[in-house]
Structure 1
Amino acid sequence: MDLGLKGLRAVVTGGTKGIGRSIADTLAAEGTHVAFCARNAEEVAATEAALKAKGVTAVGRVVDVSDGAALAAFVDEAAAAMGGLDIIVANVSALAIPNDEAGWKAGFETDMMGTVRLVNAALPHLQKSSAAAIVTISSVSGREIDFAAGPYGAFKAAIIHYTQGLAYHLAGQKIRANTVSPGNTYFPGGVWEKIQHGNPDLYNMALGLNPTGRMGTPQEMANAAVFLASPAASFITGTNLVVDGALTKGVQL
């Protein structure tokens, strides 16, 4: 299937590792020009070089998405460098698990407002696109109670609600909005590798809950996000696509 992504222009937040990096790589492999941000300068430079090697325009910048002014400036710079903007992917999370005030503040500023501010900054550019798509990355923790029920789960649930609201309100402007909710996703340097070594009981419990007997990969999550971002999903909007290997048991109606 031709996803119709060649020549489109995308912004991905948190694009240097894990799910975000796989999304950026997959978009670039489809011929999409990609701008991305992250906080580590060395990782940003290495990722930018790797994406450019795929033959597309790549723009990497060091940005903390909790800094609203910096995020807006990055989006405008990315749109100028690529000649416009068609796709945004809000991927960054503070991974705020502790149920304390610091965790709630971090989750709000990074997960929730990082998403809202990205959308607000991108909307003037998306309104000029004929293939505009918003993809937000939530989590299965946003649809059922688990060990992350606190700031992380609450804000992931809020992101789903916010995105479905966008889908309804922006449909008349031909701007689609969808969410991907990954299940447990394992990759080197990721949170589950750290849990595997730091809290093996929790890791083994989480692994045992999945009937597939394994965790997902960043590429499996990226495949879903890139499809939803693509013109091939032109009549899909307001959807929360759960990618969890049957981990969650609730029926999504």
Structure 2
Amino acid sequence: MDLGLTGKVALVTGGTKGIGRAIVEGLLAEGARVAFCARTAADVEKAEQELSASGEVAGTALDVGDGAALANWVAASAERFGGIDVVVANVSALAIGPGEQNWKASFEVDLMHTVRLVEAAMPHLERSSSPSIIAVSSVSGREIDFADGSYGVMKAAIIHYISGLAYDLAPKGIRANVVSPGNTYFDGGVWQNIEQNNPELFATAMGLNPTGRMGTPEETAYAVVMLASPRASRISGTNLVVDGALTKGVQL
């Protein structure tokens, strides 16, 4: 199926590894032109070189917690590609655990980077023929688990924020959705680190997955790319859970 993304311009935060990298790859495979950012310059350069064989892509090193740098990246990307059709707020501080620093990091990186990305991109999205906003949250924003506290609270706030955007922006034809993945395993990811350093927690988490495994970045990326597509024109304000039936709450 042609998803209608050929030639569209997409911005993805955190595009060098894991879910973000898979999102960039998925969008490029559908013919989109993609700008991505991440914090580490060496990782950005390496990813850009590897991804360039798949399509038109541009990587930039920046800290999304820096509002001015984030806004400058959005403006530069829009100028380079001639507009913006899709924005994907993917970066997370992964600040799990107690302490004021974790609350600050979760607020600035998880929540406020999403808000700032949307606000910086809004003038360009308003000129797009098929604008779409997608934020990557987490099942930890839907129910209480080991990542309650700052991480879960800010992930829940993202869902609320995007739901409000969907309602407010519907008259302008701008869609806004959330994708909430469950446990996602990849090389260099948080769950690989937990597997190596906290095998008891890893075993507990694995035992909660009714599929008997954790998800892959590509499985979550599929949901994001689908929501980015103009074919999803009637889908807005949803929180699409991608967790292999991990969570037990009923969405009404």
Partner-residue secondary structure (3-state), 2:91: coil
User: What aligned pairs does 1:9-158 form with structure 2 within 5 A after superposition?
Assistant: 9-54=9-54, 56-158=55-157
Kindly indicate whether residue 201 of structure 2 is the aligned counterpart of residue 168 of structure 1: no
3-state SS of paired residue (1:180):
strand
- Structure 2 residue runs of 5 or longer lacking an equivalent are none
Structure 2 partner of 1:7: 7
In 2, Cα distance between equivalents of 1:131 and 1:64: 28
Q: Distance in 1 between matches of 2:130 and 2:49?
A: 27
TM-score, normalising length: structure 1 = 0.99
User: How far apart in 2 are the matches of 1:193 and 1:59?
Assistant: 28
> 1:139-162, CA deviations, whole angstroms, 9 ceiling, x for partnerless residues?
000000000001000000000000
Cα distance in 2 for partners of 1:100, 1:164 equals 28
What is the alpha-carbon root mean square deviation over aligned residues? 0.6
User: What are the superposed Cα offsets for residues 2-57 of structure 1, whole Å, 9 maximum, x if unpaired?
Assistant: 11111100000000000000000110111100000001111111111222211x32
Separation in 2, partners of 1:205, 1:233? 36
Query: Contact conserved, 1:57 with 1:82, CA < 8 A, in 2?
Result: no
Deviation track 1:192-222 (CA, whole Å, cap 9, x = no partner) reads 0000010000000000001100000000000
| Distance in 1 separating the partners of 2:223 and 2:29 | 15
| CA apart distance, 1:58 | 1.2
C-alpha distance in structure 1 between counterparts of 2:150 and 2:219, whole Å: 25
Q: 1-side partners of 2:225 and 2:63: how far apart?
A: 23
SS of equivalent residue, structure 1 residue 53? helix
Distance of 2:127 and 2:98 partners within structure 1: 41
> What CA deviation, in whole Å up to 9, does each residue of 1:65-104 have, x standing for no partner?
0000000000000011111100000000000111210000
Q: Which runs of 4+ in 1 moved over 3 A?
A: none
8 Å contact 1:3–1:230 — kept in the other structure? yes
1:203 aligns with 2:202: yes
How far apart are residue 238 of structure 1 and its match?
0.2
Equivalent runs, 1:201-240 vs 2, <5 Å: 201-240=200-239
Amino acid at match of 1:79: A
Percent identity of equivalent pairs: 65
1:93-126 CA-partner distances (Å, limit 9, x unpaired): 0001112100000000000001000000000110
Q: Partners of 1:44 and 1:83 in 2: how far apart?
A: 22
Q: Distance in 2 between matches of 1:29 and 1:198?
A: 35
The residue identity in structure 2 corresponding to 1:8 is K
SS at 1:72 equivalent:
helix
2: CA distance, partners of 1:46 / 1:33: 18
**Structure-1 residue corresponding to 2:248:** 249
